[in-house]
Each structure stands twice: as C-alpha cells, then as structure tokens.
C-alpha cells in the first residue's frame, strides 16, 4: 500500500502528488462506484473504511483502485473485472456524473452495465461521438493526459464556405483568450455556400478548442462528431450504442500505452 502514514483524522495536504498509477483513496472509492467523492471522504474520516484489513483515516492515501482490498462498515468489496467500452455519446448528454439541471448524463447511459465504468474525458453538451468508458483508472488517466500526445479526430460542420487561405491560417494556429490553439491537422472534406465539413485532429484538447478555433475565423460550428481516439474508431456505432473493447486489443488501438506510461516523447509545443 503506497503513501505516507498520517495521524488518525489527518486530512491530506494541499500539495500531495500520488505516485504514477495510483489515485487518492477517496477518489478510488468514487471510481469504484462505492460512494461519491464527498461521501467517501466522510466515511474515511469517520473510520468506517478498512484498507487491506486496517482502518485508514486519510482520504488522500495513494492506492491502485484495481488492486485495493477495501471494506466499508465491515462489508468487503471486490474490484470488478477489467472492462472498457467504446460509447457513441449523443447530442444533449453531459459527461458529469450528476447534472444539477437534470439533463441526461453519460453515466445514465452506462449505469446498466455496472462494473464502475466511467468516461475517460469529456465531450460538451452539443458534441457527439466516441468516448471510452472504463473501470481501469490508469488507462483513463493515460487517455486524458496531455502528455500522452494521443490523436483525437473530429468531423466538424461549420457555417459558410471555408477557403484555402482560411484553412491555412487556422492550421497555423490562432491565439484566443491567452491560449494558443493549433490543430495537428485540418482537412477539408466538402464545402458549399451554406456549410463546410472539415476533419480536425487534435492531440491536446483545450476547453471548447475546435469551436473557438473556427469562431476566430468567423465560422460557427453547427455539428461536432468525434470519430477516432488513437487507433480506436467510432465506426458504425449509433448514438447511445456501445461496444466492448477487448483488453488484448489495447496495444492495437493505443500502441504507445504501457500501463499508464507513454512510449514516445511528447511533441514540442509550437512557438508562440
């Protein structure tokens, strides 16, 4: 069991960093679907959680969720079998666990599958397409880490005609709100006087990056569909549908992944 010991009732320090492949205990309980993050912290501080047979009162102690042996109020829990799925997130569905406005969530879609599945990354309310959901926290962390340098491809529909000069300018990058937005690649699929369709590849997705990128050129995004993450493709999945990802296929879909570590260096950031 990793992590420094603390006095009973001690709270985690503000700058603690969990070792690679681990997460704080409170987060691990949440990831396993045993309690919300706030509930998990309360349970741990109250001495109601045993880790490997010993009462722990530190919500920030580092654990590997898939390997931890934990019980709450004397009831033992076992880690579910490894699972990951490819899900087609529909429009109008949010990726938070609970939505205060009562909108449908990705968790509502995958709840019947059980197994502590959670989405690795997000798509905004109006965006659709591929999301990986898994109970493997190391895989989820790698998929969402900017350091993984993982290609994500989108098919984007924008209002109006995109000419070659505009595409070239966007490919070179734009600055917006103090951030440098630069796609890995842009490819025009088709265009008319009414709208244009573009394939966009990103490796480090900033908040609403694609919408902001095209807005800087005066084009509103009307449809955004993520079609690929690494070597994993959306394929023919219909909105709301999912398919299992076999663990032995991870090396095919994500050849750079090695238990949460990247086998290739990150590309250097563009000059600003």
**Closest residue by Cα to residue 184 from 211, 166, 205:** 205
Which is catalytic among the residues 124, 149, 151, 176? 124
Cβ proximity of 25 and 58 under 8 Å: yes
Q: Is 124 a catalytic residue?
A: yes
**Residue 3, both tokens:** 């992590």
Q: How many CA atoms lie within 13 A of 186 on its CB side?
A: 24
Q: Strands (DSSP E) along 56-208, which ranges?
A: 62-63, 70-72, 75-77, 84-89, 118-120, 128-134, 152-159, 174-176, 179-181, 185-191, 195-202
CA distance 175 to 57: 46
Strand partners, 72: 49, 75
CA distance 156 to 170: 14
* Helix ranges, the chain (H): 25-31, 37-45, 106-110, 137-144, 164-172, 209-215, 250-253
Active site residues: 124
């Amino acid at each position: 069991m990793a992590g420094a010991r603390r006095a009973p009732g001690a709270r985690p320090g503000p700058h603690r960093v969990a070792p690679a492949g681990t997460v704080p205990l409170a987060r691990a309980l949440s990831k396993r679907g045993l309690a919300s993050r706030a509930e998990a912290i309360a349970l741990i501080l109250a001495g109601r959680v045993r880790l490997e047979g010993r009462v722990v009162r530190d919500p920030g102690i580092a654990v590997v969720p898939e390997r931890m042996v934990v019980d709450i109020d004397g009831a033992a829990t076992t880690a579910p079998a490894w699972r990951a799925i490819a899900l087609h997130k529909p429009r109008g569905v949010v990726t938070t666990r609970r939505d205060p406005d009562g909108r449908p969530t990705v968790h509502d879609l995958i709840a019947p599958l059980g197994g502590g599945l959670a989405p690795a990354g997000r798509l905004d309310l109006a965006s659709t397409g591929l999301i990986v959901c898994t109970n493997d926290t190391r895989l989820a962390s790698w998929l969402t880490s900017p350091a993984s340098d993982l290609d994500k491809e989108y098919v984007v529909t924008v209002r109006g005609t995109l000419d070659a000069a505009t595409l070239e300018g966007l490919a070179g990058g734009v600055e917006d709100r103090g951030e440098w937005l630069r796609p890995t690649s842009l490819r025009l699929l088709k265009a008319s006087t009414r709208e244009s369709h573009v394939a966009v590849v990103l490796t480090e997705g900033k908040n609403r990056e694609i919408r902001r990128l095209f807005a800087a050129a005066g084009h509103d995004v009307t449809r955004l569909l993520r079609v690929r993450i690494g070597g994993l493709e959306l394929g023919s999945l219909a909105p709301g549908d999912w398919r299992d990802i076999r663990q032995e296929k991870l090396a095919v879909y994500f050849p750079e992944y090695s238990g949460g570590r990247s086998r290739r260096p990150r590309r250097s950031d563009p000059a600003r």
